[in-house]
Structure formats: structure tokens, C-alpha cells
């Protein structure tokens, strides 16, 4: 069975994007060589990337561009070559290289994907996917990168969750730029 993980940047006050949808603050602290090596390793590790429409459109508008290749060639190459799945009922097509569009029921499709053989999957951004899948116990690991910034208002990646989801801490890693990686798994 394939594993489904979430990898998201969060602010210290718990938001993964601000009220305008911006998350450029997640790129602060790039002068840290250890952190840059971690980002590069994550981007080239393989697997299948999963997005909701909003995150897909944001990623697809940047990573295939010459600016992305110039600013961060290793991450851009990974983002452009990895298999991608976008879940959307409103999107008519997904033109980014190696992207498949799934328009049917998210929970049904995710259960099918997890049962198939193949590479593990990771959700980037996509708070609506995270909250829906988390509530139904379909996420196997949460990798949260806490950023040393407070933005006051925004959107949480668990917005709309109706019940408690108990998690256990499995790993931590801190970086000189002040970011801290927290990895959690659901308590069985």
C-alpha cells in the first residue's frame, strides 16, 4: 500500500498561507546551506505530488518558468519531472508536464490510489485536500516545517476539521535559519 504524506510550511501562529493566499514568507531563510540541501533532497526524492486546484495553479505558474530554473534549478527540475495529480472539479485541463487531472470524488480516488502499487505520494500546500483526507484517516504522515514568522491572519491547513485527530511526534530537525521540521503520524 502506498503511503500518503503532507509536507507544508506553517507560520509560528499556525497558518500555511496568509489571507491573500500568499506564502512567499516560506522562502525566507534561504541563506542556510543545510536547509538548502534539505530542500534539494526533498525535491529530488521522487514520489507523486498531489495538489488541489489553487496550489496546482500557483505551482504550475512558477516552476516551469525560466525564473524558477535560474533561481532554484534542482527544485525546479524535480517539480517539473515528478508525476503530479491535481484534484479539481472546476479545472478543465492540467497542462503542466507529467500532470493528471482527477475530477471525481476525492475520497474514493484517494483510497484507490493508496491501494495501487507505485511510488509514495505527498501533498504540497492544498489545505482543502489535507483537511478532507485527514478527517477520514487517509494521511499517513504530516511533515510540518514551522517558520519563524507570525502573520496574524490566514488559512490553516486543517480548516473545517470537525473532530480531533491525535498525532504522535516521530521526528524533529531544526535549521540555523530558525525553521523547525516536525514529523507526525496518526495515533492508531
| DSSP labels, the chain | ---EEEEEEEETTS-SEETTS--GGGGTTTT-HHHHHHHHHHHTS--EEEEEHHHHHHHHHHTTSHHHHHH-HHHHHHHHHSEEEEE-SS-----STTEEEE-S-HHHHHHHHHHSSS--EEEES-HHHHHHHHHTT---EEEEEEES---SSEE-TTTT--S---EEEEEEEE-TTS-EEEEEEE--
Q: Whole-number mean pLDDT of the chain?
A: 91
> pLDDT, tens digit, for every residue of 69-79?
998 888 888 89
Q: Residue 30: pLDDT above 80?
A: no
Residue 127: predicted pLDDT: 87
Is the model's pTM score more than 0.85? yes
38-42, 45-49, 96-100, 125-129: which has the minimum mean pLDDT?
A: 38-42
| Alpha-carbon torsion (181, 165, 21, 80), positive or negative | positive
> How confident is residue 43, by pLDDT bands cut at 50, 70 and 90?
low
Higher pLDDT, 29 or 64: 64
Domain 4-186 indexed as CATH 3.40.430.10: yes
Amino acid at each position: 500500500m502506498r503511503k500518503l504524506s503532507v509536507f507544508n510550511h506553517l507560520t509560528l501562529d499556525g497558518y500555511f498561507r496568509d489571507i491573500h493566499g500568499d506564502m512567499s514568507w516560506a522562502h525566507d531563510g534561504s541563506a542556510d546551506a543545510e536547509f538548502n540541501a534539505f530542500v534539494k533532497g526533498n525535491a529530488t526524492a521522487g514520489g507523486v505530488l498531489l495538489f488541489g486546484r489553487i496550489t496546482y495553479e500557483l505551482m504550475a505558474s512558477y516552476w516551469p518558468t525560466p525564473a524558477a530554473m535560474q533561481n532554484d534549478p534542482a527544485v525546479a527540475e524535480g517539480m517539473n519531472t515528478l508525476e503530479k495529480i491535481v484534484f479539481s472539479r472546476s479545472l478543465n485541463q492540467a497542462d503542466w508536464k507529467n500532470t493528471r487531472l482527477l475530477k471525481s470524488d476525492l475520497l474514493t480516488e484517494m483510497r484507490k490510489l493508496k491501494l495501487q502499487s507505485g511510488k509514495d505520494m505527498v501533498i504540497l500546500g492544498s489545505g482543502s485536500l489535507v483537511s478532507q483526507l485527514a478527517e477520514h484517516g487517509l494521511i499517513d504522515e504530516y511533515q510540518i516545517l514551522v517558520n519563524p514568522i507570525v502573520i496574524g491572519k490566514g488559512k490553516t491547513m486543517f480548516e473545517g476539521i470537525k473532530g480531533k485527530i491525535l498525532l504522535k511526534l516521530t521526528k524533529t530537525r531544526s535549521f540555523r535559519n530558525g525553521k523547525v521540521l516536525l514529523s507526525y503520524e496518526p495515533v492508531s
